[in-house]
Amino acid sequence: MARRHRGDSNGSDGQPCHCQDCLKQNPDGVLVPHSILTEHRHRERLRTNLLARIDRSQSASSGKAKETAESNTDAHSLQPHPSEDPPLFSSVTSSISTEATDSWLGCIVSEVSMRLQTLCDCETHLVFINTPSPSLSFVFPDSASPVKVNTGDFALQTKKITNFRLLDAEARFCHLLQMIETLPVEQRSFGEVDVKEELLEALNKIHCIKERQWTLQAYPDGRQGSTVDNGLHFSQRRTTDATPTLLAALIMYIKNRSSTRSMRVNLALLRCILKGFAKKHGVESPAPVLIPKDIHTIVAHFNLDPTLHVSILCPRCYALYPLTEEALGKAEKAHQAHAPLPVCEERSSPDSPLCGATLWRSFKSGKHSLPLLAPIRKQVFQDLKSWIGRLLAIPGIEDIHL
């Protein structure tokens, strides 16, 4: 069954986002996929909570400073200083500013780590503005020049859904970097972490992903010919507070054979448990946010499923057609216009008539659901290089003598 992309629900390319960053680009909001919309909403909640905490701290400290100033005035009424602030008020204000900055920098470090986790080991086929070619080698941006978002010969197409997550992360990192550069140098660190260097390293990882995708598309068979890249299976994954919970969810889904629908309930329950635990102990943990709603997101993150190539199979002559977004969109437009669905255009010989077999069917997943389209038959191939790469990554494979 042809699956719809989440960003294409309700016949549109996304949902309107009205966060502060999107409103700067467009006063009416920006259309983004559901996954990006969720991240923007989480970022707005963090920003609102931080501002509220700063306001409460300033109000409480202002009250303490006022009481201290009044007591000092009563004790030293003969020596008033109306033109100067009390030293205590200056120190309290400085401590509030430092505390707010540290809290904000901590949120930035957590957000950078969370976004990088969704980008590491990315197997998404990025779509560049220029077609990757061996005649044009990928060039990393100059570190001495100002940071710019998605520019140059290696920019990505902004309207492709497969590019949304990477482009959103790159734009967010550049925006945070510009904000960090407005702070004094001594206030750009969170503990032992230099936040500016952390953002520059995150942007460099994004460019490394672009470079890898550009090279793979420019050299489909590798620079030295046909090669197998199994580095994906040896990469060290980041561990977070949510990692044990994600592994527990995988055990329930794979070993206990829980259904996808029941796993949505289990994941929601796990998020509620972690939120309640954090609230009870008065700590702020990003773990509940890192737990997705769909179990397939966790499976994809740990790269458990094989790499498959799906094609449309003609039920009459068994001709193969690529199952792409363009083919699905063409069939949906014909179905909405009540026109005949696409048919097989294969000929057994140059003089033979077209096959003419219908390739698509319409169905409903529920009693009151909208009709969906899916190929009548599909042919699924497992990627040979991916299978060999996973095979060669098995521990002890070098000791096997055939």
**Are residues 321 and 292 both part of a single domain?**
no
pTM of the shown model: 0.42
**Are residues 315 and 278 both part of a single domain?**
no
**Are residues 286 and 318 both part of a single domain?**
no
**Are residues 298 and 321 both part of a single domain?**
no
Distance between CA atoms of residues 226 and 219, nearest Å: 9
What φ, ψ does residue 364 adopt, rounded to 5°? -120, 135
Residue 359 placed within a domain: yes
Residue 56: which pLDDT band, with cuts at 50, 70 and 90? low
Residue 218 placed within a domain: no
Is residue 77 over pLDDT 50?
no
Which tokens hold the place of 227?
């090669």
The residue from 305, 338, 359 where one domain ends is: 305
**Are residues 300 and 348 both part of a single domain?**
no
Q: Is the Cβ–Cβ distance between 328 and 2 less than 8 Å? A: yes
Residue 301 placed within a domain: yes
Q: What is the CA radius of gyration of the chain?
A: 28
What 8-state DSSP symbol labels residue 373?
E
The residue from 287, 305, 323 where one domain ends is: 305
Residue 321 placed within a domain: yes
Q: pLDDT above 70 covers what percent of the chain?
A: 77
**Are residues 314 and 294 both part of a single domain?**
no
Q: What is the mean pLDDT of residues 328-337?
A: 91
Residue 170 placed within a domain: no
Which tokens hold the place of 138?
């990928």
DSSP reduced 3-state for 394: coil
Number of domain units in the chain: 2
Residue appearing with tokens 């669905």: 341
147: nearest Cα among 130, 172, 120:
172
Which amino acid appears at position 280 of this protein? K
Distance between CA atoms of residues 331 and 374, nearest Å: 9
**Are residues 347 and 369 both part of a single domain?**
yes
**Are residues 250 and 296 both part of a single domain?**
yes
Q: Is the Cβ–Cβ distance between 203 and 113 less than 8 Å? A: no
Q: 337 is in which domain, residue-wise?
A: 308-385
**Are residues 321 and 377 both part of a single domain?**
yes
Most confidently modeled range among 5-19, 22-36, 188-202, 315-329: 315-329
Distance between CA atoms of residues 70 and 66, nearest Å: 6
Residue 250 placed within a domain: yes
pLDDT digits (tens, 9 = 90+) for 173-182: 998 888 888 8
Residue 97 placed within a domain: no
Residue 339 placed within a domain: yes
Burial of 180 (0-12, 13-18, 19+ CB in 10 A): buried
Is residue 87 over pLDDT 60?
no
Distance between CA atoms of residues 119 and 341, nearest Å: 37
Angstrom distances, CA of residue 315 to CA of 203, 276, 318, 320, 321:
48, 54, 6, 10, 12
Angstrom distances, CA of residue 118 to CA of 35, 123, 212, 292, 312:
11, 11, 16, 11, 30
Longest Cα separation, the chain: 112
**Are residues 321 and 375 both part of a single domain?**
yes
DSSP reduced 3-state for 309: strand
Residue 267 burial (CB count, 10 A): 22
Residue appearing with tokens 């859904």: 161
DSSP string, 201-246: HHHHHHHHHHHHHHHHHH-TT-TTSS----GGGG------TTHHHH
Is residue 138 over pLDDT 60?
yes
